[in-house]
């Protein structure tokens, strides 16, 4: 049994890497596993960092694979003017690399990859502190101290389960990009970063090609295809988001010039949008040819930390970061990646690929830490930046606990009602979450369910898990007395725009918190979002008769696209629209709508 040299404990796989090819996103991925390393390269003091980078580079040029990275607090190793928080005496190493003889094949999926893993988050950073920091930064921008600062905060909590299972959940939540799991002994890094820090292909003399791809400019994904396309276009056109990206491109052009052959720095791709599960991101490519004599430590000295996570000018921005942020960033905003031999370049050539560890969890004992941030410029708006933080954190929320995709259908007289519509919605959810979906297998399971229930009325549930496994069950469905009673929620539904609202899953705690109390006589709770717009009930959609016409809230308000709602919209009975809290006294009638129970006349009980 191999032994992890960092901890002395017996172990199997200690690292997994799943990197996009930076030069060909459609090409084969760099996907490997690694067992116990032959040795570790560790720097605990600033003055040791350059030596560790040199040793890792030498090992890669000798034919080994080195996985590891640097914490954000390693920055003063390259320039004493780069201000960071002092790390406590018991902090993990500033630089850490594991040296392996060779990679192992990517492991076949096992139960461990889908074992339950849970993230239980503490209270989030305070909104008031966030707004105060933003205002302080904008005063600094107005005074000419800097023109962009990347402000971040740490979300913390506890984790349970197996690290490999949690890494699998994170990869499903944030597929693609530059994913890496490292068991570093004292800590574990689980990164599913979409951002490339740099990819450097260099011969033995240091000459080669280097690519950086800063990610700056963000927009949340839309609730519908049309809304999503509009948000992408708005991101492309936004002067604020474009300026944010161009500022960092200029910074990186300057950084690269320190190691580049004269006249070789170029920007072949500027302001390109990239679709991620929760957000649209804007990226640009900055490339150069490195000079003879360039070494890995020189590359880090020129680029680290990446300008996208500092701001510009870098020195002044990092001073502002230290003044505002309460402690070290750690692995977040540092660098994680791999050094390996490059057979194309010949003997002694290497390929070095590192991500910027955003969308990254750091585990220490039973604690978990996740940093989230955004670039603050003069035109930044507190509400928009706060929403951006929530959208960027969605990957961790998605991976916080296992969930199945769910469809609930009416089964009457041996036939499932609106079967095709439900399966189309299930297929859309499977595509969104990356769950395997076998349409033939689904039809076979539902055919069997229909044959088993040839008579009576049933509530059928179809579940699809992360492996693509299906479960179908049926429970007796009692008739519903009408009109049903709705009660207005006593507070806004904060999760209205979550992907766990737009898609139906077994993760329903956010709905359960608003569900009517048993024995209250209330059939369902009427929800509204932070803008005061009515959205839906906790287990169905709603419609209201207003000014002589029936309207159902627009999907842009944040609600499930119910099958019953869609069927009602196909005819002339209902139209989409906005229904606000102030409109409620004018509503002349209500209906609860879902595929299971159909159109139910309803009454609304107002508070008080």
Quick one: 375 and 462 in the same domain? no
Quick one: 533 and 570 in the same domain? yes
Does the residue 10 lie in any domain?
no
Measured distance CA(64)–CA(102) in Å, rounded: 6
Q: Where are the alpha helices (DSSP H) in 473-575?
A: 499-502, 509-512, 563-570
In three-state secondary structure terms, 317 is helix
Quick one: 188 and 300 in the same domain? yes
| For residue 245, pLDDT beyond 70 | yes
Quick one: 454 and 352 in the same domain? no
Indicate which CATH number applies to the domain containing 98. 3.60.120.10
Does the residue 2 lie in any domain?
no
* Average pLDDT of span 237-264: 95
Does the residue 65 lie in any domain?
yes
Q: Which residues are catalytic?
A: 195, 216
| For residue 485, pLDDT beyond 70 | yes
Last residue of a domain, one of 476, 497, 512: 476
Last residue of a domain, one of 476, 495, 530: 476
Q: Which of 92, 46, 308 is nearest to 193 (CA)?
A: 308
Does the residue 549 lie in any domain?
yes
| For residue 248, pLDDT beyond 80 | yes
Measured distance CA(295)–CA(50) in Å, rounded: 10
Does the residue 3 lie in any domain?
no
Give the model's confidence band at 140: pLDDT under 50 very low, under 70 low, under 90 confident, else very high.
Answer: very high
As a 3-state breakdown, the chain gives helix, strand, coil percent values, each rounded to 5, of 30, 30, 40
The confidence score (pLDDT) of residue 11 equals 52
* Average pLDDT of span 523-529: 97
The confidence score (pLDDT) of residue 3 equals 36
Quick one: 376 and 492 in the same domain? no
Quick one: 387 and 493 in the same domain? no
Quick one: 466 and 491 in the same domain? no
Does the residue 4 lie in any domain?
no
User: Do the beta carbons of residue 296 and residue 253 sit within 8 Å?
Assistant: no
Number of separate domains in the chain? 3
Considering the chain, what is the average pLDDT of its residues? 94
Burial of residue 607 (number of CB atoms within 10 Å: 0-12, 13-18, 19+): exposed
- A 10 A CB-CB count for 298 gives 18
| For residue 607, pLDDT beyond 80 | no
Residues near 373 by beta carbon (within 8 Å), at least 6 away in sequence: 150, 151, 152, 153, 309, 333, 358, 389
Last residue of a domain, one of 418, 445, 476: 476
Quick one: 492 and 531 in the same domain? yes
| For residue 188, pLDDT beyond 70 | yes
Quick one: 242 and 188 in the same domain? yes
User: Do the beta carbons of residue 197 and residue 336 sit within 8 Å?
Assistant: no
Question: What range does the domain containing 452 cover?
Answer: 405-476
Quick one: 451 and 503 in the same domain? no
E-assigned strands of 508-548?
524-526, 541-546
Indicate which CATH number applies to the domain containing 440. 3.30.470.10
The confidence score (pLDDT) of residue 6 equals 40
Does the residue 365 lie in any domain?
yes
The confidence score (pLDDT) of residue 224 equals 80
Measured distance CA(21)–CA(309) in Å, rounded: 22
* Average pLDDT of span 254-271: 96
User: Do the beta carbons of residue 240 and residue 219 sit within 8 Å?
Assistant: no
Measured distance CA(459)–CA(597) in Å, rounded: 10
Quick one: 295 and 319 in the same domain? yes
Give the model's confidence band at 111: pLDDT under 50 very low, under 70 low, under 90 confident, else very high.
Answer: low
Does the residue 40 lie in any domain?
yes
* Average pLDDT of span 529-541: 96
| For residue 2, pLDDT beyond 60 | no
Give the model's confidence band at 225: pLDDT under 50 very low, under 70 low, under 90 confident, else very high.
Answer: confident
Give the model's confidence band at 4: pLDDT under 50 very low, under 70 low, under 90 confident, else very high.
Answer: very low
* Average pLDDT of span 509-515: 95
Quick one: 387 and 510 in the same domain? no
The three-state (H, E, C) secondary structure of 152-179, written as one string: EEEEEEEEECCHHHHHHHHHHHCCCCEE
């Amino acid at each position: 049994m191999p032994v992890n040299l960092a901890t002395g404990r017996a172990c199997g796989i200690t690292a997994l890497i799943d990197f996009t090819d930076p030069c060909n996103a459609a090409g084969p991925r760099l996907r490997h596993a690694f067992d116990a390393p032959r040795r570790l390269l560790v720097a605990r003091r600033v003055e040791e960092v350059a030596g560790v980078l040199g040793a890792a580079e030498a090992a890669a040029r000798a034919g080994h694979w080195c996985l590891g990275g640097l914490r954000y607090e390693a920055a003063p190793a390259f320039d004493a003017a780069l201000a960071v928080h002092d790390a406590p005496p018991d902090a993990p190493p500033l630089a850490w690399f594991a040296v392996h003889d060779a990679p192992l094949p990517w492991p076949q999926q096992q139960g461990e990859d889908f074992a339950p893993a849970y993230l239980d988050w503490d209270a989030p950073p305070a909104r008031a502190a966030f707004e105060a920091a933003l205002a302080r930064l904008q005063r600094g921008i107005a005074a000419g101290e800097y023109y962009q600062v990347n402000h971040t905060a740490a979300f913390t909590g506890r984790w349970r389960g197996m690290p490999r299972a949690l890494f699998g959940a994170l990869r499903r939540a944030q597929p693609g990009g530059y994913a890496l799991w490292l068991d570093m002994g004292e800590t574990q890094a689980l990164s599913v970063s979409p951002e490339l820090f740099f990819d450097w292909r260099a011969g033995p003399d240091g000459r080669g090609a280097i690519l950086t791809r800063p990610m700056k400019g963000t927009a949340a994904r839309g609730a519908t295809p049309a809304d999503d396309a509009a948000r992408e276009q708005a991101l492309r056109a936004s002067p604020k988001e474009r300026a944010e990206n161009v500022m960092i491109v200029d910074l990186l052009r300057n950084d690269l010039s320190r190691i580049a052959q004269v006249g070789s720095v170029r920007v072949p791709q500027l302001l390109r949008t990239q679709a991620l599960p929760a957000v649209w991101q804007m990226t640009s490519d900055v490339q150069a040819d490195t000079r003879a004599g360039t070494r890995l430590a020189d590359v880090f000295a020129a680029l680290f930390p990446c300008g996208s996570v500092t701001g510009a000018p870098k020195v002044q921005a990092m001073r502002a970061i230290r003044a505002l942020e309460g402690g070290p960033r750690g692995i977040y905003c540092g660098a994680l990646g791999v050094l390996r031999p490059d057979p194309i370049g010949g003997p002694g050539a290497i390929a070095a690929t590192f991500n910027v560890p955003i969308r990254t969890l750091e585990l220490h004992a039973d604690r978990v830490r996740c940093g989230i941030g955004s670039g603050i410029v003069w035109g930044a708006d507190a509400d928009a930046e706060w929403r951006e933080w929530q959208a960027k954190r969605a990957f961790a929320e998605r991976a916080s606990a296992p969930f199945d995709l769910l469809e609930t259908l009416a089964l009457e007289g041996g036939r499932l009602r609106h079967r095709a519509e439900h399966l189309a919605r299930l297929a859309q959810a499977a595509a969104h979450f990356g769950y395997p979906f076998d349409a033939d297998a689904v039809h076979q399971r539902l055919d069997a369910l229909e044959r088993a229930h040839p008579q009576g009325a049933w509530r059928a549930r179809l579940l699809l898990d992360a492996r693509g496994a299906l479960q179908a069950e049926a429970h007796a469905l009692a008739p519903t007395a009408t009109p049903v009673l709705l009660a207005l929620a006593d507070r806004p539904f904060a999760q209205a725009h979550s992907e766990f609202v737009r898609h139906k899953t077994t993760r329903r705690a956010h709905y359960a918190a608003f569900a009517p109390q048993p024995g209250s006589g209330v059939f369902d709770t009427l929800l509204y979002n932070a803008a005061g717009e009515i959205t839906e009930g906790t287990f169905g959609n709603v419609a209201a008769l207003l000014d002589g016409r029936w309207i159902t809230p627009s999907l842009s308000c944040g609600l499930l696209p119910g099958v019953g709602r869609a069927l009602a919209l196909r005819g002339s009975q209902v139209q989409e629209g906005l229904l606000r809290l102030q409109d409620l006294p004018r509503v002349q009638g209500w209906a609860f709508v879902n595929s299971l129970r159909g159109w139910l006349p309803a009454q609304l009980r107002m508070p008080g």
